[in-house]
Amino acid sequence: MKILNRKNILGFAAIIAFYVIVQLLINADVIDSYLQLNIVIIGINIILAVGLNLITGFTGQFSLGHAGFMCVGAYISAIVTAKLGQPFLVGIIASGLGAALVGLVIGIPTLRLKGDYLAIATLGFGEIIRILMLNIDYVGGASGFNDIPQYTNWTWLYFMVVISVLVISNFVKSYAGRACISIGEDEIASEAMGINTTFYKVLAFTIGAFFAGIAGALYANYFYFIKPDSFGFMKSIDILVTVVFGGMGSITGSVVGAALLSVISAFLQRYPELRMVIYSIVLFSIMVFLPRGLMGIKDIKLNFLKRGGSADGDSETR
Amino acid sequence: MVILKLDNLTKLFGGIVAVSNVNMEVEKKQIVGLIGPNGAGKTTLFNLLTGMYTPTSGTITYGTDDKIVLNNLRPYSVTSVGIARTFQNIRLFKDMTVYDNVRIGFHHNIKCGIIPLILRLPVFYREEENVGNKAMEILKLFNLEDKALELAKNLPYGDQRRLEIARALSTKPKLLLLDEPAAGMNPNETKDLMKLIRWIRDKFDLTIILIEHDMSLVMGICEKIFVLDYGTLIAEGTPEQVQNNPKVIEAYLGGEE
């Protein structure tokens, strides 16, 4: 299996082409600032949803604290870029690593818990982070953190989305991903098959937290201003809804789900009084007619480009 | 040669004695039966052997040359030293394919870090291809290769049982623990299963311990039988010796009223 096969080259070309086209449209003012705002929201939501899907959809660990990691990333990037005057790249890396470290520290004790108990523990974690930020004057406390330089643009956003989707889908379509999926399916059997379940649960949690941190950095450096309340319990629920909407265990589902829900939500802003009603009806219909989400557990595959057998690590249904 | 040795193995759950002072020696390459009435502690014993429970007291020693004490090992480490098991109520990864179920078993033999995996370095493809080929070999031995891409939950019951054994074999065990492999099978399927168990013992050079209620299977293939009742070992020996042991008859049929 060569790395520079036809599929990979075509995929790479498509990624670059999409970037260039959108950049040209932005330069030509076809995509105005309102559209750009929505594109940024979509990108951030994709990163968050894909990360949470690794934790909840694939590894089966029900986490309600994903906005907490985003909060950690947003504040770290804000401090690094605004207070310390460092370039955005440093802010992004620091945010990812900081959130991953928090994920590791939180994950080791809480991932012993299962199901509802884990959900409550992670929910508590998210609230702790929010309250902490609310009470630290250095980062502005309740009045928020102001004057963050606006570094996030299409280039940063797009390549961060591509990196996070690629890393997580590479991870999932490998022996490590199979280990995570098997934990979600049956933890006891998984451990009996020689899989260090604690290691993989913590690893999935840490990778998810890493990308949530990056999403936080992109958020902070786009909106100039962050406040703890943006990263509350409802934000975690929103991310979870996106993952369930797209399909637990489908990367494509998370990407499509995040894009679609962001668009629906932006569109509905014109009808503020009916907004939540229609939004709920959409979610409700998806759950009734497609109980496993938009994509179920299936991922879009470029099968027609593929030559070799199935021994390259891709599984057919995941 | 002894491959597994239990010394005064005891497991308490609060005040309840699940396994009490069990001493056992299992010879290499034997097929050993573990029988006893319901609730005798057979599955608990399996759970102790595979690290799912920690013994309250006593020791479990495994291995012919290097003796390893299994008492405090986690289940995944027990698997990596060469003990694999199946479960009483089939525990396949139901929403994964047959192929992936077997590939999971090779996990602890994969030598490739997380970074080469994410960067898709050649070592990753080499390891995955290797695992894929080995998994297909095992599926071929079990005549499951045509169903490799079906979801495990869609297999007929008998195939699920066989897949669970195939998955356990993919971890490259030296000692295989089968928990009621014939449960829910009709007499013909049980006969095929007996052939299969003998055949995998010879093919993979295994020691097998099996829990079973189907006496035709136990008496038919086991070379040695251990009988548990209320957590204690009440008899051991060849099928003939065990069948004629008054304690065993009493445990199964009850003593005189």
pLDDT band for A314, please (50, 70, 90 cuts).
very low
Domain presence at residue A261: yes
C-alpha span between B58 and A308 (Å, rounded): 53
* Joined tokens for residue A234: 């409802």
Binary contact (B75, A181; C-beta < 8 A): no
pLDDT of residue A124: 94
CATH code of A237's domain: 1.10.3470
Q: Is A147 at the interface with chain B, CB within 8 A?
A: no
Binary contact (B104, A195; C-beta < 8 A): yes
Residues A68, A129 contacting (CB under 8 angstroms)? yes
ipTM: 0.90
pLDDT of residue A187: 93
To the nearest 10 degrees (0 to 180), the angle between helices A33-52 and A154-172 is 20
Closest CA to B174 of B26, B52, B28: B28
To the nearest 10 degrees (0 to 180), the angle between helices A197-220 and A88-110 is 150
Residues B200, B11 contacting (CB under 8 angstroms)? no
Domain presence at residue A1: no
pLDDT of residue A269: 85
Closest CA to B158 of B133, B137, B187, B201: B187
Domain presence at residue A65: yes
Domain presence at residue A26: yes
C-alpha span between A57 and A60 (Å, rounded): 5
DSSP state of A305: G
Binary contact (B131, A175; C-beta < 8 A): yes
* Joined tokens for residue B158: 């008998």
pLDDT band for A283, please (50, 70, 90 cuts).
confident
Burial pattern A87-107, b for ≥16 Cβ within 10 A else e, equals ebeebbbbbbebbbebbeebb
Binary contact (A170, B118; C-beta < 8 A): yes
pLDDT band for A18, please (50, 70, 90 cuts).
very high
pLDDT of residue B151: 93
Residue A4 pLDDT exceeds 80: no
Binary contact (B114, A167; C-beta < 8 A): no
pLDDT band for A303, please (50, 70, 90 cuts).
very low
Q: Is B142 at the interface with chain A, CB within 8 A?
A: no
Residues 6+ apart with CB under 8 A from A117: none
Residue A209 pLDDT exceeds 90: yes
Q: Is B128 at the interface with chain A, CB within 8 A?
A: yes
Place of tokens 């020689």: A194
Region label for A144, one of left (φ > 0), alpha (ψ between -120 and 50) or beta (otherwise): left
C-alpha span between A2 and B72 (Å, rounded): 43
Mean pLDDT of A240-263: 92
pLDDT in tens, chain B (257 residues): 899 999 999 999 988 999 999 999 999 999 999 999 888 999 999 999 999 999 999 999 998 888 899 998 999 999 999 999 999 999 999 999 999 999 999 998 888 888 889 988 889 999 999 999 999 999 999 999 999 999 999 999 989 999 999 999 999 999 999 999 998 888 998 999 999 999 999 999 999 999 999 899 999 999 999 999 999 999 999 999 998 898 888 888 776 55
pLDDT in tens, A31-50: 888 999 999 999 999 999 99
C-alpha span between A137 and A68 (Å, rounded): 19
pLDDT of residue A301: 54
Q: How many domains does chain A have?
A: 1
CB atoms within 10 A of CB A144: 17
Amino acid in position B175 = L
Mean pLDDT of A198-226: 95
Coil, strand, or helix at residue B112? coil
Query: What separation in angstroms does the CA of A56 have from each of A134, A154, A294?
Result: 28, 29, 16
pLDDT band for A300, please (50, 70, 90 cuts).
low
* Joined tokens for residue B213: 């209620």
Q: Is A313 at the interface with chain B, CB within 8 A?
A: yes
| Four-residue CA torsion sign, A197, A201, A202, A207 | positive
Residue A305 pLDDT exceeds 50: no
Residues A225, A146 contacting (CB under 8 angstroms)? yes
C-alpha span between B220 and B239 (Å, rounded): 8
pLDDT band for A95, please (50, 70, 90 cuts).
very high
CB-nearest partner of B107 from A171, A195, A203 = A195
C-alpha span between A127 and A133 (Å, rounded): 10
Residue A312 pLDDT exceeds 50: no
Closest CA to B80 of B48, B108, B47: B108
Residue A302 pLDDT exceeds 70: no
Place of tokens 């999403």: A215
CB-nearest partner of A194 from B76, B122, B125 = B76
Place of tokens 């009742």: B229
pLDDT in tens, A128-147: 999 999 999 898 888 899 88
- The range of the structural domain enclosing residue A19 comes to 6-317
C-alpha span between A211 and A1 (Å, rounded): 29
Binary contact (A1, B94; C-beta < 8 A): no
φ and ψ of B154, to 5 deg:
-90, 0
